[in-house]
Amino acid sequence: MRIILADDHPIYRSGLCQILYEMFPDARVDEAGDKAVLFRQLDQLPAPDLIISDLVFPGFDYIHDLKLIRRRFALCPIIAVSMINDPMEIEHIMALGLNGFISKAVPSHDVVKAIGNVMQGQIEVCFSQTYIGHETVTSAHISLDDLTPRQIEILKFLRRGLSNKEIARELDLSPFTVRSHVSALMKNLGVSNRAAASAIAASHGIS
């Protein structure tokens, strides 16, 4: 197994390397601290089995470069790591075609779980708090008791990263009906986007 890890902070990169070696003892982890080294690593064989990249480091334009990497490695899991903790920004980042997002603020056991889930084919969004406007609340304090069984079902699909059309196919519903369920679900949760809803689902053990 070959992993490429791109981050310009040596201490964080070293800590994440240690986690990766503990998870995958036989893995080869190639490190990069800037864009030039990252793209040299991407040119090497064998092709990577996992790419983990910070969003801000020398020479790297993550919006442009992550799209390039995704097109080039269509089947390789790609995880972004960042100090960004705003669900709206994370939603835009995930829309670049990533398999996961991990906040640098989360504890190591959450990092392990998130990486493991991505390697099992799941879409993972892992961050420490849910932001609602200018107000911050911990997602663990949000109750799911008021959700209907159908909304819980929809929330599970959001947790997996499915689109409205994909959820509609899974449930044999129209996309319009699913969109209505998603809107009602987010209103009940008090969030404005799917990434925040997914984070709440994760905090309640929904997968």
Q: Phi/psi class of residue 121: alpha, beta or left (left: φ > 0; alpha: ψ in -120 to 50)?
A: left
- Cβ neighbours for 172, distance < 8 A, ≥ 6 positions apart: none
Which residue's entry shows tokens 């490429």? 4
Write out the residue limits of the CATH 3.40.50.2300 domain(s) in the chain: 2-128
**Ranges in the chain annotated CATH 1.10.10.10:** 138-203
103, β-bridge pairs: 82
User: What is the tens place of the pLDDT at every residue in 162-192?
Assistant: 888 899 999 998 888 888 888 888 888 877 7
pTM strictly above 0.75: no
- CATH H-level superfamily of 2-128: Response regulator (3.40.50.2300)
On the question of pLDDT at 26 being above 70, the answer is yes
Name the residue type at position 2.
R
Give the residue with greater pLDDT, 105 vs 34.
34
Q: What is the pLDDT of residues 82-102, one digit of tens each?
A: 988 777 788 788 888 888 999
pLDDT at residue 13 in the model: 93
CATH of domain 138-203: 1.10.10.10
| pLDDT recorded at residue 205 | 73
